[in-house]
């Protein structure tokens, strides 16, 4: 299959490109800079110049592809309104381009803001309904295109997609521990995150693209719930620094932007995903990756 991948040069995207190429697919990756284009080309994929605001490039990439994987995101935490606007516009552009084709469209989503008070299941819909909601409401927007003959598939990633070299939320938590000389959790540390190894997430994206039925919500989750306190303790042991609790009102002072996410319960199950796609995660656990120095 000829697959158009946005975010092909990113953390999850670069592993996804490797997995797709390894399975015999052709990949065209959106590249917003020469460095990203070079990284994509070095893997044996083709770079398509353009950024998320270049809707014509997104249209072209999607129109010429047999399937689309959308992973690019501005991730501007200080301006989430703009990040969400751009995400919504990109998803709408790709979905409109694919309408009537029956082609697969796998898009990234997450668990932020869902918090039903138990592990989130694939059957739990995203509460997002409009442009102001988490990720610009892009998950529900894409699923609306199922009735316009797009094989839309949501890939909800655990808040920690971990491996050596991760620069996501967990690396911000580790950086805060280094800055302050203590490894902290918020309150009693009982909130929990789902986690998945990057290689397992990449394989799931490919399986979803190849096989998942229209309207699927896939959970890239290998571990349902890793408690914040256990994460902080593993970081503390690895860096050989004390482990402490910070009060919720002091969390932003300690952690910066990531406090909002570390304080959220984002536990989730993947029973339906595993069964429907015969996906069995096999990478190291989050605590194993922390303990073996993936964040060193």
Ligand X SMILES: NC(=O)c1ccc[n+]([C@@H]2O[C@H](COP(=O)([O-])OP(=O)(O)OC[C@H]3O[C@@H](n4cnc5c(N)ncnc54)[C@H](OP(=O)(O)O)[C@@H]3O)[C@@H](O)[C@H]2O)c1
Task: Name residues contacting ligand X, limited to 106-125 (CB under 6 A).
Answer: 108, 110
Here's the x/- map for ligand X, 156-185, by CB under 6 A: it reads as -x-xxx------x-----------------
- Backbone φ and ψ for 146, nearest 5 degrees, come out as -60, -40
- Considering beta carbons, is residue 166 or 182 the nearer one to ligand X? 166
Nearer to ligand X, 126 or 160 (CB): 160
Strands 223-227 and 192-197: antiparallel
Residue 112 DSSP SS3: coil
CB of 100 to ligand X, least distance (A): 26
| By CB under 6 A, residue 33 contacts ligand X | yes
Report in angstroms how near the CB of residue 128 gets to ligand X at its nearest.
Answer: 14
The answer to whether residue 38 forms part of the interface with ligand X (CB under 6 A) is no
Task: Indicate the DSSP class of residue 266.
Answer: B
By CB under 6 A, tell whether 73 contacts ligand X: yes
Q: Is 7 in the site for ligand X (CB under 6 A)?
A: yes
Instruction: Provide long-range contacts, Cβ within 8 A and 24+ apart, for 19-25.
Output: 19/199, 19/202, 19/203, 19/205, 19/206, 20/69, 20/206, 20/209, 21/45, 23/206, 23/210, 25/1, 25/206
Question: Per CB under 6 A, which region of 7-15, 142-150, 237-245, 272-280 contacts ligand X?
Answer: 7-15
Report in angstroms how near the CB of residue 174 gets to ligand X at its nearest: 14
Residue count, binding to ligand X (CB under 6 A)? 24
Residue nearest to ligand X (CB): 10
Q: How far is the C-alpha of 5 from the C-alpha of 28, rounded, in Å?
A: 6
Q: Is 79 in the site for ligand X (CB under 6 A)?
A: no
Q: How far is the CB of 33 from ligand X (least distance, A)?
A: 5
* 10 contributes a contact to ligand X by CB under 6 A: yes
Asked if 47 interacts with ligand X (CB under 6 A), we say no
- Label residue 75 exposed, middle or buried (CB < 10 Å: 0-12, 13-18, 19+): exposed
Among 20, 27, 52, 176, binds ligand X (CB under 6 A): 52
Q: Bridge partners of 151? A: 104
Q: How far lies 237's CA from each of 189, 243, 288, in Å? A: 16, 8, 12
Contact 290, 208 (CB under 8 A): no
Interface positions with ligand X (CB under 6 A): 7, 9-13, 30, 32-33, 36, 51-52, 71-75, 108, 110, 157, 159-161, 168
């Amino acid at each position: 299959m000829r697959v158009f991948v946005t975010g092909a040069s990113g953390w999850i995207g670069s592993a996804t490109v490797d997995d797709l190429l390894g399975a015999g697919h052709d990949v065209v990756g959106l590249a917003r800079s020469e460095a990203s284009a070079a990284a994509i080309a070095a893997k044996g994929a083709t770079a398509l110049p353009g950024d998320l605001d270049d809707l014509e490039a997104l249209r072209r990439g999607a129109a010429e592809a047999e399937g689309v994987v959308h992973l690019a995101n501005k991730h501007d935490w200080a301006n989430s309104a703009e990040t969400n606007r751009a995400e919504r516009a990109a998803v709408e552009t790709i979905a409109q381009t694919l309408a009537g084709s029956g082609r697969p469209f796998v898009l990234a989503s997450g668990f932020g803001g869902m918090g039903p008070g138990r592990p989130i299941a694939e059957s739990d819909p995203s509460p997002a309904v409009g442009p102001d909601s988490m990720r610009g409401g892009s998950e529900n927007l894409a699923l609306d295109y199922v009735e316009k003959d797009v094989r839309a598939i949501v890939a909800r990633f655990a808040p920690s997609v971990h491996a050596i070299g991760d620069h996501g939320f967990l690396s911000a938590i580790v950086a805060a521990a280094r800055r302050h000389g203590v490894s902290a959790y918020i309150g009693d540390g009982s909130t929990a995150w789902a986690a998945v190894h990057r290689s397992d997430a990449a394989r799931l994206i490919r399986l979803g693209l190849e096989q998942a039925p229209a309207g699927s919500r896939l959970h890239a989750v290998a571990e349902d719930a890793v408690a914040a306190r256990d994460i902080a303790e593993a970081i503390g042991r690895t860096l050989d620094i004390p482990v402490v609790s910070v009060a919720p009102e002091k969390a932003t002072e300690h952690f910066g932007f990531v406090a909002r996410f570390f304080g959220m319960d984002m536990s989730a199950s993947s029973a339906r995903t595993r069964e429907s796609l015969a996906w069995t995660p096999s990478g190291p656990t989050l605590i194993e990756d922390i303990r073996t120095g993936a964040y060193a």
